[in-house]
Amino acid sequence: MRLPKSRREPKIGVFSAALALMLAPTHAEAQAFACTAPGRIPVPHPETPPRGEPARNPRIAGYLLAMSWSPQRCASAANPRKAADRFQCSGENGRFGFVLHGLWPEAEGPAYPQWCRPAKIVPTSVLRRHMCMTPSAQLLQHEWAKHGTCMSPNPAAYFRAAGILFGAVRFPDMKGLAARPQTADSVRAAFASVNPGVRASMIAVATDRKGWLTEVRICLGPRMRPQRCKPFQAGAGDRAAVRIVPPPR
């Protein structure tokens, strides 16, 4: 069956590869943190829409590349050695800076696509390949079920595209940023300064209730190229104070 033009699957591999060429990081600009995938990958449980989150499949008008600041996640964890956070936070398998929360399809308004298809369990080989990008098998399953199924029928293709995009991002000196008072605007400016072709207006910053940095998100257009964030994507306001947990040593 040939889908109407507005509902066809995006060629996510082609678009993400094009962005990677524009933003390809040098070795010195990549995150210098180590990670070794665990010998045994936990099998995630199926993810289905919780009550109050209906399946919806509006036309995809863009994407968000959401990157979480791992030191904040681990600093706020009640017990970093519990199963849910052990791989990411215990230091046994690696040290993490920014990790990929997800690649999210967006609509023209805030009612973004979600839960578009029933989601099978992501194959272990795919989980293992991406555990150092998103250090939680259950989060990988969640991202596939809620967001990836709206972009591709194949989890390997979805995570491959997400990995290309995440691997193309350059990161500022987070240790230096953590040592001085910041605002959402200064964090956006720091990211824009090391990513040619990306302006501060294309970057959103998210914080928790106490102002600690939780995520940085890059707004992408329908062909996965950076674009100005829409008002509902913008995150913290320019003057919002941002505190940053220092990166691991």
Domain positions in the chain are: 57-242
Pick the CATH number of 57-242 from 3.40.50.360, 3.90.730.10, 3.10.450.50, 1.10.10.1800: 3.90.730.10
pLDDT at position 16 is 55
Active site includes 101?
yes
Please report the beta strands in the chain, taking only residues with DSSP state E, as ranges in sequence order.
Answer: 62-69, 98-106, 182-183, 203-207, 213-220, 241-242
pLDDT at position 79 is 75
10-residue mean pLDDT profile of the chain (249 residues): values are 37 53 43 75 94 94 97 85 78 86 96 96 96 94 98 97 96 96 97 96 97 98 96 94 93
Q: Which of 101, 130, 142, 215 is catalytic?
A: 101
Taking the C-alpha atoms of residue 45 and residue 96, their distance in angstroms, rounded to an integer, is: 24
pLDDT at position 158 is 98
pLDDT at position 21 is 43
Find where tokens 């591999």 sit.
13
Active site includes 142?
no
Taking the C-alpha atoms of residue 108 and residue 91, their distance in angstroms, rounded to an integer, is: 40
**Spatial contact of 135 and 96, defined as CB atoms under 8 Å apart:** yes
pLDDT at position 226 is 96
Taking the C-alpha atoms of residue 249 and residue 247, their distance in angstroms, rounded to an integer, is: 6
Taking the C-alpha atoms of residue 31 and residue 170, their distance in angstroms, rounded to an integer, is: 8
Q: Which of 106, 130, 142, 143 is catalytic?
A: 143
pLDDT at position 117 is 95
Q: Which of 47, 106, 130, 147 is catalytic?
A: 147
**What is residue 218's DSSP assignment?**
E
pLDDT at position 22 is 46
Sign of CA dihedral 162, 9, 104, 138: negative
Taking the C-alpha atoms of residue 56 and residue 54, their distance in angstroms, rounded to an integer, is: 6
First-to-final CA distance of the chain = 54
Active site includes 45?
no
pLDDT at position 20 is 52
Give the Å distances, CA to CA, from 23 to 11, 96, 103, 158, 197. 19, 21, 16, 19, 8
Collapse the DSSP code of 224 into the 3-class scheme (helix H, G, I; strand E, B; otherwise coil) and give the result.
coil
Is residue 182 packed enough to be buried (19+ CB in 10 Å), middle (13-18) or exposed (0-12)?
buried
Taking the C-alpha atoms of residue 174 and residue 171, their distance in angstroms, rounded to an integer, is: 8
pLDDT at position 81 is 65
Q: What's the pTM?
A: 0.87
Give the Å distances, CA to CA, from 230 to 11, 33, 139, 204. 23, 32, 26, 10
